[in-house]
Amino acid sequence: MTETTPQMPRTPVLELTGITKTYSVKSGLFAKPMPLQALGGVSLRLYKKDVVGLVGESGCGKSTLAKILLGLEAPTSGHVLIDDKEVDSGDRRRLSRRIQAVFQDPYSSLNPRKTVEEIVSLPLVVHGIGDGPSRAKAVREMLDLVGLPERARRGTPNQMSGGQRQRVAIARALIMKPEILICDEPTSALDVSVQSQILNLLTDLRQEFGLTYLFISHNLAVIEHLATRVAVMYLGQIVEEGPARQIFSAPRHPYTQALLDSVLTPDPDQFIPDNRLGSNYPNPISPPSGCRFHPRCPARRPICEAVAPPHIADTASRVVCHLHGDADTAVLPVSA
């Protein structure tokens, strides 16, 4: 009989529990401020080397979540844990050593008046790491890793193509050797021909450095290509999460199904897909009662308008929908 080593439970590198974010907004100069809940109890775990694809329509809260992780915004409530230790999201210095980001637009995220060497070495300068020669060496090595020639360090972003600028942005993000990279639509401002080069580079760098990615995108083809897990957001809440293969082959939440139905296919005989979502995206200042998706849901039931659905979870996935409560699954509270 062979002896088996007991599996130790994995600790997530990054864990979010019950993150809420509420802004106070005015609809006019003399109007009373109204609360706008951008995030309504988001919980998510990222394990080492995971690529978690975060998908959803514009305005669903994806970028607010990224700002909280980067310490650019503080959550109204909830916790951010790195390696099981709570992080004060106002502690930007500590967060930025562990979490870095690559943004959508390399045109506006890089200072056009600085040289590439100044841009890429800036995080080392800010954190007081190394001296001039060691920083210059680190920049040369990083440019080589992202596929830029050594001479690029003396250039400025306005002399470069979009793809080259995004490589500079990736080099700047990785020079601190972070464990987690937040990629916020990193290819959507690039030509299609360049997009795959940047995606392949991110894949290679993940292998090289053992990185964990939170990959935010509205492009489901990109998410399907890269992600190991997928979290689907709707109106500030994660409504379905699970292994990428499962989400793409057998989505359980009607919103996930509608998103996948709306993907264009290259088949010219296919009509423009109908995502069956009906009415427009609701106003987050007055979100719908019960299930927030119910006004647009083709599968809604009478209970959906009145009662918020529970989180139905097994060990690998979860879905927040009244259609999926059965005896084989655990029912968790909504903010779990």
The least CB distance from residue 280 to ligand SF4, in Å, is 16
Q: At which residue do the structure tokens 């080593």 appear?
A: 5
Angle between helices 132-145 and 116-126 (to 10 degrees): 120
Report d(CA 248, CA 230) in Å as an integer. 9
Nearest CB to ligand SF4, comparing residues 299 and 336: 299
- Asked if 254 is part of the footprint of ligand SF4 (rule: CB under 6 A), the reply reads yes
DSSP character string of 99-164: EEEE-S-TTTSS-TTS-HHHHHHHHHHHTT-S-HHHHHHHHHHHHHHTT--GGGGGS-GGGS-HHH
CA distances from 64 to 46, 71, 183 (A): 17, 11, 13
Instruction: Give the count of residues interacting with ligand SF4 (CB under 6 A).
Output: 14
- Asked if 300 is part of the footprint of ligand SF4 (rule: CB under 6 A), the reply reads yes
- Asked if 175 is part of the footprint of ligand SF4 (rule: CB under 6 A), the reply reads no
The least CB distance from residue 214 to ligand SF4, in Å, is 24
- Asked if 251 is part of the footprint of ligand SF4 (rule: CB under 6 A), the reply reads no
Report d(CA 194, CA 4) in Å as an integer. 47
- Asked if 321 is part of the footprint of ligand SF4 (rule: CB under 6 A), the reply reads yes
- Asked if 235 is part of the footprint of ligand SF4 (rule: CB under 6 A), the reply reads no
The least CB distance from residue 312 to ligand SF4, in Å, is 10
Q: At which residue do the structure tokens 């083809």 appear?
A: 221
Nearest CB to ligand SF4, comparing residues 122 and 299: 299
Query: What are the E-state strand segments in the chain?
Result: 14-25, 34-46, 51-55, 77-82, 85-87, 99-102, 180-184, 212-216, 229-234, 237-243, 311-313, 318-320, 330-332
The least CB distance from residue 292 to ligand SF4, in Å, is 8
- Asked if 309 is part of the footprint of ligand SF4 (rule: CB under 6 A), the reply reads yes
Nearest CB to ligand SF4, comparing residues 173 and 277: 277
Helix (H, G, I), strand (E, B) or coil at 16: strand
Report d(CA 141, CA 319) in Å as an integer. 43
Q: Which two tokens stand for residue 41?
A: 């109890």
- Asked if 139 is part of the footprint of ligand SF4 (rule: CB under 6 A), the reply reads no
Nearest CB to ligand SF4, comparing residues 35 and 298: 298
Helix (H, G, I), strand (E, B) or coil at 82: strand
* Contact pattern for ligand SF4 over residues 53 through 92, marking x by CB under 6 A: ----------------------------------------
**DSSP single-letter state for residue 33:** P
Interacting span for ligand SF4 (CB under 6 A) from 119-127, 192-200, 224-232, 315-323 = 315-323
- Asked if 304 is part of the footprint of ligand SF4 (rule: CB under 6 A), the reply reads yes
Nearest CB to ligand SF4, comparing residues 61 and 295: 295
Residues that bind ligand SF4 (CB under 6 A): 253-254, 291, 293-294, 297, 299-301, 304, 309, 321-323
